[in-house]
């Protein structure tokens, strides 16, 4: 028997159609937003790499300062310390974690940079400023920080294996029980005096091995031009 085309039938059919249309619209919107989001990520990363290339040219020209490299590195590493990075959720929550291994930026400013978990292994940052930089759990092994300013930087859980800290100012820098660093490398660094003439120390309260040698870290040379001393004494190497 043919179904009677009653007003009730039309209302029921219309509701089903509207429901299906609404679901389809939501799916299209979600998919559209997803691809738009991915495009924004790609654009953001491309812009950051462009700035970083400019910073490399600036550094090679032996110029000092900030041409946007702080924000560029923060953009490229913003998700490196996120718990979801090794899960499929990275495609929804963020996947900005570029490998910045072997980056060379001398005499540049990274003061206050927020890059936890970043990979900067085998980098060359001689005479650069990392004062108060947040580098917790960062990969900094085999990285050169000769004559750099690392005062008050956070190296909690960071890997500083075979890093070069010769004449680097580590006053107030934080090293916790998770920090990987060889005592002999840290003893090549130096600390400054505070405004009252008292020796500044490092923050290694939770790292017994580092804490035991904290007082042995030498004072930085009176000559504020540690880069000049580095050049004249060791020719930009890590020292003996």
pLDDT value of residue 232: 72
Residue 186: closest CA among 226, 145, 134: 145
Task: Note whether residue 46 is domain-resident.
Answer: yes
Q: Please report, for residues 11, 57, 93, 134, 203, the alpha-carbon distance to residue 174 in angstroms, rounded to integers and kept in the order given.
A: 69, 31, 30, 10, 5
3 lies in some domain: no
- Which pLDDT score, from 0 to 100, does residue 60 have? 83
Look up the domain containing 22 and give its range. Answer: 13-234
Report, as ranges of residue numbers, the positions in the chain whose pLDDT lies below 50.
Answer: 1-2, 24-25, 28-35, 37
pLDDT score, position 50 = 92
- Give the pLDDT score at 83: 78
Which pLDDT score, from 0 to 100, does residue 11 have?
57
Task: Identify the pLDDT of residue 133.
Answer: 98
Evaluate whether residue 1 is within a structural domain: no
Cα atoms in the Cβ-side hemisphere of radius 13 Å centred on 43: 6
Tell me the pLDDT tens digit for each residue of 105-156: 999 999 999 999 999 999 999 999 999 999 999 999 999 999 999 999 999 9
pLDDT confidence of residue 192: 95
Q: Using the 8-state DSSP alphabet, how is residue 214 labeled?
A: G
pLDDT for the residue numbered 20:
58
Count of structural domains, the chain: 1
Q: Is residue 62 part of a domain?
A: yes
Check which CATH number belongs to the domain holding 107 and give it.
2.160.20.80
Residue ranges of alpha helices (H) inside 61-157 are 69-76, 90-93
The answer to whether residue 239 is domain-embedded is no
């Amino acid at each position: 028997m043919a179904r009677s085309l009653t007003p009730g039938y039309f209302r029921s059919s219309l509701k089903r159609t509207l429901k299906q249309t609404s679901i389809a619209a939501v799916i299209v919107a979600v998919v559209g937003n997803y691809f738009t989001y991915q495009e924004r990520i790609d654009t953001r990363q491309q812009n950051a790499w462009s700035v970083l290339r400019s910073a490399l040219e600036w550094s090679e020209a032996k110029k000092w300062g900030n041409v946007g490299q702080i924000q560029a590195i923060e953009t490229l590493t913003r998700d490196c310390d996120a718990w979801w990075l090794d899960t499929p959720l990275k495609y929804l929550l963020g996947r900005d974690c570029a490998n910045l291994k072997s980056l060379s930026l001398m005499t540049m400013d990274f003061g206050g940079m927020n890059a936890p978990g970043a990979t900067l292994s085998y980098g060359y940052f001689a005479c650069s400023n990392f004062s108060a930089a947040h580098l917790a759990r960062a990969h900094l092994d085999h990285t050169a920080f000769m004559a750099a300013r690392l005062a008050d930087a956070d190296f909690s859980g960071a890997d500083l294996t075979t890093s070069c800290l010769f004449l680097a100012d580590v006053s107030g820098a934080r090293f916790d029980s998770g920090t990987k660093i060889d005592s002999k490398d840290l003893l090549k660094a130096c600390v400054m005096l505070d405004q009252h003439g008292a020796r500044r120390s490092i923050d290694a309260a939770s790292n017994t091995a580092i804490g035991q040698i904290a007082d042995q870290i030498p004072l930085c040379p009176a000559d504020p031009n540690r880069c000049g001393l580095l050049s004249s004494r060791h020719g930009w190497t890590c020292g003996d």
